[in-house]
Structure 1
Amino acid sequence: MHHERSRYLAGRGYLAACTLGLPADVTRAAVLRDLEAWAAGTASAGDYSAALERARGHAATLLGAQPQQVATGSQVSVFTGLVAASAPSGAEVLCVDGDFSSIVAPFLARADLRVRHVPLDALADEIRPDTWLVSASLVQSATGALADAASVAAAARDAGALTLIDTTQATGWMPTDDLDADLVVCHAYKWLGAPRGAAFAAFSDRAVDELTPFTAGWYSGADPWTSCYGPGLHLAPDATRFDVSPAWHAWAGAEAALGFAASLDLHAVRRDDLALANAFRERLGLAASDSAIVTWEDPTGCDLAALTAAGITASGRAGRARVAFHLWNDEEDVELAADALRPSGSRVPSHR
């Protein structure tokens, strides 16, 4: 997929798809067109809604769902908040220890829920008959580790528990169209390279039935243009009842970004991203992995500082240095990053 590198204005030394993705040429062009139309007074609500519906179709493709099963929003935590607000008092919610706050904090904010945190590799085994919901990221933000989503889904089904899977750190570099979950949520500004403020979620029939659309507004009706005023409640019969009024400018870019991602062979993207990530791991003496995110212990931040000093854009999370490899990267980025950490061949990261 390295031929896709030409679609990006920059990318050399940019190892931060897991923090902020880069826009492909089509996304950049769409955002610029939108800015010009807005400035010229030719932008319209109808055109924005049409763009959003096209984007919903692309999101459905990426999540292996039908468009009517997909709700559009602005942030993962808002979708998680709907689940948390809908939980019965005293319900048990099972989370991964150290998972991203957006799929943990809404449950903690309700003092009457029992929130249990377990290690990622124990998640399926820790699901109990009284577990109401399992909430987990498919790819962990802090470590890059992948969840065994199939085992979690099977155990949750056996227990009658709902499942919430966050694919923000997965969709775009790996296929996410075969997840068996009641709610699959994704914010598109990382690996999908969309403007921040465009998120989407696929709802199972059970989730549509059991969750309350507390964020209902004019866009949650079957026809938003006839749902603008009370006193009645206007709710679509499907997952679009969970739509929030779209952030128009974000979705102008997201339509292009999601369409571009949906056109790619994500099995090939995963293969190529993993090849780069594992080549980097090999250079540092780290074991091969199944994640495009590479992290290692860096409690003092020295390794991150070395990468930054070499002109490489990386990140640090939870006492670990973190880099990611995606469409705009190639083998030269692997060498640049490895050389920054091992300038004389004698220095390796603190975690072997």
Structure 2
Amino acid sequence: MDSFVDGSGYLAACTAGLPTLGTLAAMRADLDEWGRAASSPVAYGALVEEGRALFARIVGLDPARVATGSQTSAMVAVAAAALPDSAEVVVPDGDFSSVVFPFHAQAHRGVRVRSVPLDRLADEVRPGTALVAWSAVQSSSGVVTDPAPVLDAAQAVGAMTLCDLTQAAGVLPVSAAPFDVTVTHAYKWLCAPRGVAFATFSDAALERLRPVQAGWYAGADVWSSCYGPTMRLADDARRFDVSPAWQAWPGAVAALRHLASVDAASAWRHATGLADRLADALGSPRSGQAITTFPDPAGAALRALTDAGVTASGRAGRLRLALHLWNDDEDVTRVVDVLGGLPGFRPVG
């Protein structure tokens, strides 16, 4: 907790993480360098490679399988563009739009997106399904999906898999290895500045997908790839890199250094333990999740917490609370004091 800025009352890691003290120092130093006309693209490039390696460690892969970018939807769009005409994509009802919309955008080619209940995702994969896409942790509810049945169902029909780890990496122990493609924006549970995202690729994905967004940073040698007309793409996942948002990377690498040093299982126990204590105090069932939600159709609970200095969020008619490394029992007590005294609040339903 001491590595972060004061996060008391901040229960919104699912919206945006808080910076570590190292992140703030790195970003301020970078601004000072820029102000002295001392910024170096080569130095930024070295940070990108360090960040790639740190993220690879967090998700259990070789860095050669990790591509860097700035937005998850653009990375999902690469997979969407590789689908054959008239392909079927299966997604859960209500998943985050960045996981879903890039496939809908291929409707002009006959690509069909079939939304199914999350708890039936594996059952709904069928012969002819080309790809299954879902989030490891649902943004709106915090529900964690066991990937094994979905992966087995996809393998049985030859479908590719794409999993969004944005609401998982940094708090939930995750491995990107079983999936064909994963996407992760680092500004939530990984606590990086916005503008740093990652994608990972299996052997099959590296063979089948094409870097439709390729630019100079996708070249085998970046600094020899600045001008056309010829270009040699990188042999590994770097062929899917896009030009980095330089000034986000010093802070991102500082954050990733810290999160890579944290045992993810311990982080998950800490977060879910707090969420379960909150549920017990409010008389609702334990969720065993780092994101916990309560009915709040009119937003009264969210307004009451905001007025009391607690930062939370509202999604899909529910109050959404996220517990991360900087939270403690005092945060649970603050929420219980506000919600317990709120007329009409019902923690279930």
User: Per the shorter chain, which TM-score range?
Assistant: over 0.9
CA distance in 2, matches of 1:52, 1:255: 8
| Count of aligned positions | 347
Partner of 2:180: 182
User: What is the 5 A alignment of 1:116-127?
Assistant: 116-127=114-125
1:132-188 deviation digits (Å, cap 9, x = unpaired): 000000000011101111211111111111000001001011111265100111000
Deviation beyond 2 Å, 4+ runs, structure 1 = 346-352
* Alignment check: 8 A CA contact 1:216 1:242 kept: yes
* Match for residue 168 of structure 1 among 166, 170, 185: 166
* Alignment check: 8 A CA contact 1:173 1:270 kept: yes
Partner of 1:226: 224
Partner of 2:8: 12
Q: Which amino acid aligns with 1:292?
A: A
Partner of 2:203: 205
* Match for residue 88 of structure 2 among 92, 95, 100: 92
Partner of 1:46: 42
1:273-302 deviation digits (Å, cap 9, x = unpaired): 110011111112221123100112211111
Q: Which amino acid aligns with 1:11?
A: G
CA distance in 2, matches of 1:9, 1:179: 33
CA distance in 2, matches of 1:325, 1:350: 17
CA distance in 1, matches of 2:275, 2:220: 44
Partner of 2:241: 243
* Alignment check: 8 A CA contact 1:269 1:327 kept: yes
Q: Which SS does the other structure have where 1:61 is aligned?
A: helix
Is 1:256 aligned to 2:254, yes or no?
yes
* Match for residue 29 of structure 2 among 5, 26, 33: 33
CA distance in 2, matches of 1:235, 1:286: 53
Q: Which amino acid aligns with 1:329?
A: N
Cα deviation for residue 234 of structure 1 reads 2.6
Partner of 1:349: 346
* Alignment check: 8 A CA contact 1:150 1:179 kept: no
CA distance in 2, matches of 1:38, 1:286: 51
CA distance in 2, matches of 1:297, 1:348: 8
CA distance in 2, matches of 1:173, 1:348: 29
**Structure 1: 5+ residue runs without aligned partners?**
none
**Structure 1 vs Structure 2: percent identity of aligned residues?**
52
Partner of 1:311: 309
> Bigger CA drift: 304-313 or 177-186?
177-186
> Bigger CA drift: 253-262 or 67-76?
253-262
Cα deviation for residue 233 of structure 1 reads 3.1
Q: Which SS does the other structure have where 1:104 is aligned?
A: helix
* Alignment check: 8 A CA contact 1:164 1:183 kept: yes
Q: Which SS does the other structure have where 2:155 is aligned?
A: helix
* Match for residue 290 of structure 2 among 289, 292, 310: 292
Q: Which SS does the other structure have where 1:124 is aligned?
A: coil
* Alignment check: 8 A CA contact 2:61 2:177 kept: no
Q: Which SS does the other structure have where 1:20 is aligned?
A: coil
CA distance in 1, matches of 2:316, 2:47: 38
* Alignment check: 8 A CA contact 2:282 2:347 kept: no
CA distance in 1, matches of 2:15, 2:279: 19
CA RMSD of aligned residues (A): 1.2
Q: Which SS does the other structure have where 2:48 is aligned?
A: helix
Q: Which amino acid aligns with 2:28?
A: L
* Alignment check: 8 A CA contact 2:284 2:347 kept: no
TM-score (norm. length: structure 1)? 0.96
**Structure 2: 5+ residue runs without aligned partners?**
none
User: What is the 5 A alignment of 1:96-107?
Assistant: 96-107=92-103
Q: Which amino acid aligns with 1:265?
A: D
CA distance in 2, matches of 1:64, 1:151: 20
* Alignment check: 8 A CA contact 1:63 1:202 kept: no
Q: Which amino acid aligns with 1:152?
A: V
* Match for residue 69 of structure 1 among 65, 71, 78: 65
